[in-house]
Amino acid sequence: MMKTITTYSLIAFILRRHGGNKSSNIRDKARHQNLTNPPQINNFSAKYVPFGADPDTSTESYSLDEIVYRSQSGGLLDVQHDLSALKAFPGSYWRALFDSRVGKRTWPYGSGVWSKKEWVLPDISSDDIVSAFEGNTNLFWAERFGKQFLGMNDLWVKHCGISHTGSFKDLGMTVLVSQVNRLRKMNKPVVGVGCASTGDTSAALSAYCASAGIPSIVFLPANKISIAQLVQPIANGAFVLSIDTDFDGCMKLIREVTSELPIYLANSLNSLRLEGQKTAAIEILQQFDWEVPEWVIIPGGNLGNIYAFYKGFHMCKELGLVDKIPRLVCAQAANANPLYLYYKSAWDEFKAVKANSTFASAIQIGDPVSIDRAVYALKKSDGIVEEATEEELMDAMAMADSTGMFICPHTGVALTALMKLRKSGVIGATDRTVVVSTAHGLKFTQSKIDYHSNNIKEMACRYANPPVSVAADFGSVMDVLKKYLSKTPKY
């Protein structure tokens, strides 16, 4: 103990001599703070275990510093936290700690993800963290949409897409790239980080890697993602392969490649990602002052996120921050609906499908890697799976936009699920409901242009609002305006 204190004092002294106490940036400040005033030593830890393994009988586990994505039997892995160490502190302690970090610029806690560091990667040094202060996204009261289209008064949209790279993937990627940063400092064989992507994972991976100076490699299905999403990894300096296949084909290839080359796999098959994504669920509870909503609706593709949300809610219950969890709804595009079909078969037999083209292009996935995680999350949360046709999801997106949002088609899928469940009475008028918006609408402007130009085959585009062309003279402009105003409701 004496020796430790002496070492800390010596380092603090050296830092002071070299101007360390005049910390020039927030990372230095955090380092200085830790040296002069070391954080309370605790036993928090986490490791990989086989997903769904019985903790009483299974002994298989791996350090998070190992490069491993699958269990011995080829199944999924899960990050397991030492809950007994976390339980040494009551729920009120965790609530107060997390609340105290919101809205600050303290490294790394200014991030919505790292403000929950003890529950995410407890062992990582703050120095190794690669963060854009992601998270802490807006929980938007959808007052007008709820009232006008659903007769609801307690509807909320969690805007996870209003984020550094425009989607919820930032939440997971800060964790994965931080761990890669640590592994590289430990001289582990990681030459670069790679993913298959429908656009958002690659955007997040390339941005976080670029910020840490780590090479990123992305496999994209040729001509199946939006231009905005394609340009993101290109601009961030990733090595981009445009491959003549679909997402499932790219996923198969990246799995093969990462088992041959020292390229670290960044898709959500890697359970580290979900540790970051789960913080969005914790954040929702925090934003409601630790009151639990009745329903949370999430669009699903590769199906990591539905499990991440379940895990975040479950940890809050397990550790005494709340006393129940919400019911989860996973929403899929009807053109890429393997989970929906499985659910409708009463979980009889899972069959991968060939995913057809959908405006919700980021969830055009037929063989989701996290199918087992999703089923677990849905069973444990008394969950439901719904689907949306192309016309339903595009109408829902246009309806939401007409009330002041600017959502992506995937959020349109989730809103369609909500409309169906409201109509059937499963979700009540006063049920507090959160729809998770997963990406920024600006990534998907082409689909909005097509819709508002009435330019989609076999779609009525009922809420299209095309611009009116008018001659550049006062009379013509007045005529058009008078016609418009005569149809506008008067208050």
Ligand X SMILES: N[C@@H](CCOP(=O)(O)O)C(=O)O
Ligand Y SMILES: Cc1ncc(COP(=O)(O)O)c(C=O)c1O
Is the Cβ of residue 175 or residue 195 nearer to ligand X in the bound state? 195
Site residues for ligand X per CB under 6 A: 195, 197-202, 267-268, 301-302, 304, 362
Biggest CA–CA distance in the chain, Å, is 88
Is the Cβ of residue 240 or residue 408 nearer to ligand Y in the bound state? 408
Distance CA 484, CA 478 (A): 10
Give the torsion through C-alpha atoms of 406, 410, 411, 414, to 10 deg: 160
Characterize the bridge pairing of strands 77-81 and 46-50. Answer: antiparallel
Q: Which does 267 bind (CB under 5 to 8 A by kind): ligand Y, ligand X, none?
A: ligand X
Is the Cβ of residue 363 or residue 396 nearer to ligand Y in the bound state? 363
Q: Which does 286 bind (CB under 5 to 8 A by kind): ligand X, ligand Y, none?
A: none
For residues 195 and 201, the answer to whether their CB atoms sit within 8 Å is yes
Q: How far is the CB of 218 from ligand X (least distance, A)?
A: 9
Q: Can you spell out the DSSP letters for 296-309?
A: EEEE-SSSHHHHHH
- Nearest CA-CA partner of 217 in 235, 231, 237: 237
Is the Cβ of residue 201 or residue 437 nearer to ligand X in the bound state? 201
Is the Cβ of residue 204 or residue 396 nearer to ligand X in the bound state? 204
Structure tokens at 399: 């309806």
> Looking at residue 139, what DSSP letter applies?
E
Is the Cβ of residue 20 or residue 199 nearer to ligand X in the bound state? 199
Q: What b-and-e string marks burial along 374-392, b requiring 16 or more CB atoms within 10 Å of the CB?
A: bbbbbeebebbbbbbebbb
Q: How far is the CB of 166 from ligand Y (least distance, A)?
A: 9
Q: How far is the CB of 471 from ligand X (least distance, A)?
A: 44
Q: What b-and-e string marks burial along 77-94, b requiring 16 or more CB atoms within 10 Å of the CB?
A: bbbbbeeeebeebebeeb
Q: How far is the CB of 361 from ligand X (least distance, A)?
A: 9
Q: Which does 408 bind (CB under 5 to 8 A by kind): ligand Y, ligand X, none?
A: ligand Y
Is the Cβ of residue 12 or residue 417 nearer to ligand X in the bound state? 417
Q: How far is the CB of 274 from ligand Y (least distance, A)?
A: 9
Phi and psi (nearest 5°) for 171? -60, -40
Q: How far is the CB of 224 from ligand Y (least distance, A)?
A: 12
Q: Which does 158 bind (CB under 5 to 8 A by kind): ligand X, ligand Y, none?
A: none
For residues 454 and 464, the answer to whether their CB atoms sit within 8 Å is yes
Q: How far is the CB of 161 from ligand Y (least distance, A)?
A: 7
Sign, Cα dihedral of 244, 250, 252, 255 = positive
Is the Cβ of residue 109 or residue 451 nearer to ligand Y in the bound state? 451
Distance CA 231, CA 90 (A): 46
Is the Cβ of residue 115 or residue 302 nearer to ligand X in the bound state? 302
Q: How far is the CB of 375 from ligand Y (least distance, A)?
A: 13
Q: Which does 197 bind (CB under 5 to 8 A by kind): ligand Y, ligand X, none?
A: ligand X
For residues 283 and 347, the answer to whether their CB atoms sit within 8 Å is no
3-state secondary structure of 170: helix
Q: Which does 366 bind (CB under 5 to 8 A by kind): ligand X, ligand Y, none?
A: none
Q: Which does 410 bind (CB under 5 to 8 A by kind): ligand X, ligand Y, none?
A: ligand Y
Q: Which does 311 bind (CB under 5 to 8 A by kind): ligand X, ligand Y, none?
A: none
Q: Which does 303 bind (CB under 5 to 8 A by kind): ligand Y, ligand X, none?
A: ligand Y
Q: How far is the CB of 264 from ligand Y (least distance, A)?
A: 19
Phi and psi (nearest 5°) for 388? -135, 130
* Residue reference for tokens 């130009």: 453
Q: Which does 297 bind (CB under 5 to 8 A by kind): ligand X, ligand Y, none?
A: none
Site residues for ligand Y per CB under 6 A: 167, 198, 200, 268, 299-305, 362-363, 408, 410, 438-439
Q: How far is the CB of 172 from ligand X (least distance, A)?
A: 7
Q: Which does 438 bind (CB under 5 to 8 A by kind): ligand Y, ligand X, none?
A: ligand Y
Distance CA 390, CA 340 (A): 15
Q: What b-and-e string marks burial along 269-289, b requiring 16 or more CB atoms within 10 Å of the CB?
A: bbbbbbbbbbbbbbbbbbbee
Beta bridge partners of 79: 48
Is the Cβ of residue 86 or residue 328 nearer to ligand Y in the bound state? 328
Phi and psi (nearest 5°) for 94? -65, -40
Q: How far is the CB of 197 from ligand Y (least distance, A)?
A: 8
Is the Cβ of residue 268 or residue 337 nearer to ligand X in the bound state? 268
> Looking at residue 440, what DSSP letter applies?
B
Structure tokens at 320: 């005494």
